[in-house]
A = this chain, B = another copy of it.
Amino acid sequence: MQHHTTKTGSVGIVIPQYFQHDDTFGLVSGQTLDGFTLAYETYGELNADKSNALLICHALSGNHHVAGSHSPTDPKPGWWDNFVGPGKAINTDHFFVVCSNNLGGCHGSTGPSTVNLKTSLPYGPDFPIVTVEDWVHSQAQLADYLGIDTWAAIVGGSIGGMQVLQWSISYPNRLKKAVMIASAPKISAQNIAFNEVARQAILRDPGFNEGHFYSGDHYPRQGLTLARMLGHITYLSDDVMRLKFGRELKEGKLNFDFSAEFQVESYLRYQGETFSDHFDANTYLLMTKALDYFDPAAQYQDALSTAIQHVEANFLLIAFTSDWRFSPERSEEIVKALIEKNKRVTYAKIDAAQGHDSFLMDITRYKKLLQAFLA
């Protein structure tokens, strides 16, 4: 819900909303949820024929707070505020933008830290494993509730891009444009391996206590810190780390101890520790699993072109040269499959030094391309 825009280019103060789905909701795993809540935000106005709705799907550690601020003194805007707002690449003067926190999340949607009404305790490790497909089905329920039959566009980066692809497969006639940024049709063994180290860091932390850590006695802070430190390395490129930190020493000299001596060490520790203060470890585990599992071609003998044969959306794929976590080659696999089936697709490989994180950056060519495609 958008209130007065307090400055040019910002959606201003926004208030999160909550969608309640009361029916039993079946998951890919075979498990069910007795209903769920999705926290979401919207920016811009839905037009009369409800044809200007644009869904943003968030990435691993993201949430529904994409743009604007929650209060006049909020120190930080939403995670994609540089892209979403009046006159911006995702122009809220034209679009009614929606983003929901993924099911299993820890920012207001039903997830492991939510109290299970059956037990009056947080779900914890009993929260079922959710998949990209489950997310898309839950978002479709939200679309129904909002009266949005067809999205003008669905946009997402990283695992957000996977949700875009899944939407186009599961609901081919419910989106007109599909924008996948720095994404992949499935992750590689190396990606799974990094996710597994992150998971093991959490699972092996004594504070994890088999996922029961909501009583306040313990928390897998160390494990979550390590998981995030590791993740962070893979979001950045070798080049940008060289430019940003090089071998700079914090105190200008070696200390010959295990303190944070190099700038990069201190940066990573800070990133990891800050993250561990506000993210739920069970949610982190779930999100990495959803990432590992995503593989729409698997049920078609690994033929991606068969998996996407019924898609109707007009696709834009964007990849970044220095992204080694979701390299351009992975986007190109999707482009190839779409071309093979005569689908509409535009592809751009953008020169950018910032690795996977480029998808959040102010890169002119990238922004202009996105804006032009959506216009």
Contacts and interface: CB of A to CB of B under 8 A. Distances in A.
Given A268-B196, A292-B262, A293-B254, A246 B201 contact: no
Contact of A197 (B204, B226, B241, B261): B226
A229 B200 CA distance: 10
Interface residues of A, number: 54
Contacts of A279: none
Contact of A262 (B192, B246, B254, B256): B192
A192 B229 contact: no
A293 B199 CA distance: 30
A201 B201 contact: yes
B29 A197 contact: no
Contact of A128 (B189, B256, B292): B256
- Chain A, interface SS category: helix
A225 interface: yes
B192 A265 contact: yes
Interface in A176-229: 186, 188-190, 192-194, 196-197, 199-201, 203-206, 222, 225-226, 229
A188 B129 contact: no
Contacts of A254: 29, 293
Contacts of A205: 222
Interface string A283-297: 001000100110100
A341 interface: no
A180 to B, nearest CB: 20
Given A204-B226, A222-B204, A295-B247, A238 B268 contact: no
Interface of A: 29-31, 128-129, 186, 188-190, 192-194, 196-197, 199-201, 203-206, 222, 225-226, 229-230, 233, 236, 238, 241-242, 244-247, 254, 256-258, 260-262, 264-265, 268-269, 272, 285, 289, 292-293, 295, 298, 324
